[in-house]
Structure 1
Amino acid sequence: MPQATLLEKALGKVKEHGFKYTKKRETLLDFLIKKNRYVSAREVYNHLNEQFPGLSYDTVYRNLREFCEIGLIEDTELQGEMKFRFSCSESFEHHHHFICTVCGMTKEIHMCPMDFFKEQLDDCSIEGHRFELYGRCEKCQNVNE
């Protein structure tokens, strides 16, 4: 899907969930769409602060968290730091990832292992889960850290 269409769809979801449109929110989403990988909140903040001097880090982080809650943005802890990316699912549906530990490239995994676990936990109520695989993508397999 073209980046402009993704941005329009994302802004529609923002409005649908009761958030007002701001140029800062649009710029935040556009940055994540263009990056197409996990980035730190600091990277997002640095980019936004260039265009909106004086913007607080807390505001950026709060927006990232709120957009995670409505499924626009995905988060993960990578190498001890929270990272964020625009949802790689065009329909913002549940999915899992392989994440390159060198470049941050992400591949969507098109299956969910929860059926296996549900069978073993049939007397429990599962409220959420996360499944991510970490390693090196094809380009980074020979890169020395």
Structure 2
Amino acid sequence: MNTKDRALQQLKEKGYKKTKQRERIIEIFAAYDQYVPAKKILKEMQEEFPSVSFDTVYRNLYLLSEEKVLEATELEGEKHFRLSCGTNHHHHHFICTDCGKTKLIEFCPMEGLKEDLRGYEVENHKFEIYGKCPQCG
């Protein structure tokens, strides 16, 4: 199953309707396969749906993030999104600050922090490394 179909199936399983706008958002992300700024998604959506509003696009981006269809990060003060990796195991990413491409990191630094966090209840964490990929460096 390709990434677009997997994402649409994931939404269907959670009871969400397949709308043309959601399907187009997912198609855009499948074509990029990297982090993309929300503004760029809005611009591409307006090419096919000229009357689509900023609020509609952002509402869908955040819904897709909450449902783990998209992953979100902040680069240079702006929200960027990408299709979820589809891996079912815990992992982190290197993110290129130029092109937005990512590299999967299997190592989790939380193991090394257990001693420093003794007595604290960690509910969640996110670890990202930023820099330039080989193509941009």
Across the aligned residues of Structure 1 and Structure 2, the Cα RMSD in angstroms comes to 1.5
Match of 1:74 among 61, 71, 75: 71
How far apart in 1 are the matches of 2:26 and 2:89? 17
Q: CA deviation at 1:93?
A: 4.6
1:53-92 per-position Cα deviation (integer Å, ceiling 9, x unaligned): 11111111111111111111111110111111111x2235
Q: CA deviation at 1:95?
A: 2.2
Q: CA deviation at 1:119?
A: 3.2
How far apart in 2 are the matches of 1:19 and 1:129? 27
Tell whether the 8 Å contact from 1:72 to 1:92 is kept in structure 2 after alignment.
Answer: no
* TM-score normalised by the chain length of structure 2: 0.92
The residue number in structure 2 matching 1:116 is 112
* TM-score normalised by the chain length of structure 1: 0.87
The residue number in structure 1 matching 2:15 is 18
Q: CA deviation at 1:122?
A: 2.6
Q: For 2:68, what is the secondary structure of its paired residue?
A: coil
Count of aligned pairs: 137
The residue number in structure 1 matching 2:30 is 33
Give the % identical residues: 45
The residue number in structure 2 matching 1:132 is 128
How far apart in 2 are the matches of 1:119 and 1:16? 39
How far apart in 1 are the matches of 2:119 and 2:130? 31
Tell whether the 8 Å contact from 1:76 to 1:84 is kept in structure 2 after alignment.
Answer: yes
What are structure 2's unaligned runs of at least 5 residues? none
How far apart in 2 are the matches of 1:93 and 1:29? 22
The residue number in structure 2 matching 1:5 is 2
How far apart in 1 are the matches of 2:71 and 2:135? 23
AA aligned to 1:124 is: Y
Q: CA deviation at 1:16?
A: 1.4
Q: For 1:119, what is the secondary structure of its paired residue?
A: coil
Alpha carbons of 1:125 and 1:30: their partners in 2 closer, same or farther (altered >3 Å)?
A: same
The residue number in structure 1 matching 2:102 is 106
Match of 1:97 among 81, 93, 97: 93
